[in-house]
Structure 1
């Protein structure tokens, strides 16, 4: 473990030295803009083979205007603490010329400008070659639902960073806390927690309103506007189907017609 920490520390210092001492290529004015929903996996695009040839070792850097966030050189990797466990550049794709950064469980705090570089070492001079600028934005989930009384509302949390679920009734201005992660006292109500979701069972009319999933900073992960409709109990009226016309029906009708004609004939003869 001490060796790994020492290597990470060395890589970090080495990168800071590169950032401070090596001239980079001029940066384009317009970055690539991408947008992902909070809690999803974001991919920040980067292609290096179109700008470089015969790179002996794939050494990639990703940074924001404020800090270095990720560095990878061969099997050695380093990432900033706030991104720990969430960043990756697949090594097999890197050798194919794809230096795209995978950012898992993207959060609102990840919003910003990212820049990628490939470090090359030629004639004992290390040079940072600029590859791509990416502007990342993150948005929340929004849903509008209509459900019937007695149904179950399933609220997806979307991210492990989701901490609370609050509710505002349709005719109310007050927000009521329905669920707090890890708080057994609050969670003794009708909301049941399962893997990645909370469930409100047996909907009533007064459950109509707005539900919000909030993260640890109180930012909205998702907003669900729910309308609960009363399911009317209607009596089933039996439907009388017309009987199909078959041979027996035709024969019966013909017999009646013959009898009717005979009676009329007898009546006429009697009158005459």
Structure 2
């Protein structure tokens, strides 16, 4: 086997392993104005304060470190990872009142502090999940049409027609 063939096999195996080890991307969809929950489950929960970060390609959308939280501009009062859910291993991001601009890929990370010795503390950012959010327009509301006759004139509903007819007959009876 020559060097080029050997290199080709290594390259193909590397691509295959990379594809197999890639984090699966979950898809979630919602309509404009609705609420979406981007799923996330912690692999490990320690005694330390949980540090969760949700990002898109362009910005950090939400970050929680214990009771403290950060919401990016445009996401204020619309996003949260409830602290009480973290104790149940859920780090799902809740997005309220979805606009079309929320669509995109969201990635969650857990920052873990690792202590090698009493003198050195290192932090590591572990990928938890990737979620693709799609947001659709609300379907147009169905309008109830008023029945029209062949000439395109609007016809009143039958009970209104009957009441109108009775009123006319009574008026003629009393004034005739």
Shared fold, TM over 0.5: yes
1:104-123 equivalences in 2 (<5 Å): 104-123=96-115
2:85 aligned counterpart, secondary structure: helix
Question: Could you say which structure has the larger radius of gyration?
Answer: 1
1:231-246 matches, within 5 Å, as: 231=156, 233=158
Structure-1 residue corresponding to 2:39: 45
Structure 1 unmatched ranges of 5 or more = 1-26, 150-204, 207-228, 237-272
Return closer, same or farther for 1:57/1:145 CA change in 2, 3 Å cut-off: same
Q: What is the CA distance between 1:121 and its match in structure 2?
A: 0.4
CA displacement 1:181-203 (0-9 Å, x = unmatched)? xxxxxxxxxxxxxxxxxxxxxxx
Change (3 A) 1:231 1:30: farther
Superposed counterparts of 1:137-216, under 5 Å: 137-142=134-139, 143-148=141-146
Partner residue of 2:80?
88
Cα distance in 1 for residues equivalent to 2:155 and 2:130: 53
Checking the alignment, whether the CA contact within 8 Å between 1:60 and 1:72 is kept in structure 2 is yes
1:235 deviates by 5.5
Aligned counterpart for 1:98 among listed residues 90, 96, 101: 90
Partner of 1:32: 26
Distance 1:80 1:232 in 2: 54
Residue 55 (structure 1) shift: 5.0
* Alpha-carbon spacing, 1:60–1:29, altered in 2? closer, same or farther (3 Å): closer
1:232 Cα offset (Å): 5.1
Q: Distance in 1 between matches of 2:37 and 2:155?
A: 44
- Measured in 1, the distance between the counterparts of 2:157 and 2:85 equals 58
Kept in 2, the 8 Å contact 1:114–1:135? The answer is yes
CA distance in structure 2 between the aligned counterparts of 1:235 and 1:77, rounded to whole angstroms:
65
Q: TM-score, normalised by structure 1?
A: 0.44
Match for residue 72 of structure 1? 64
Q: Distance in 2 between matches of 1:87 and 1:53?
A: 22
| Superposition TM-score, scaled by structure 2 size | 0.67
Residue ranges of structure 2 left out of the alignment (5+ in a row): 1-20, 116-120, 164-176
Higher RCO, 1 vs 2 (CA within 8 Å, ≥6 residues apart) = 2
CA drift of 1:110 comes to 0.6
- Do the aligned partners of residues 75 and 105 (structure 1) sit closer, same or farther apart at CA in structure 2, a change above 3 Å counting? same
| Cα distance between partner residues in 2 of 1:97 and 1:68 | 21
Cα distance in 1, alignment partners of residues 155 and 122 from structure 2: 74
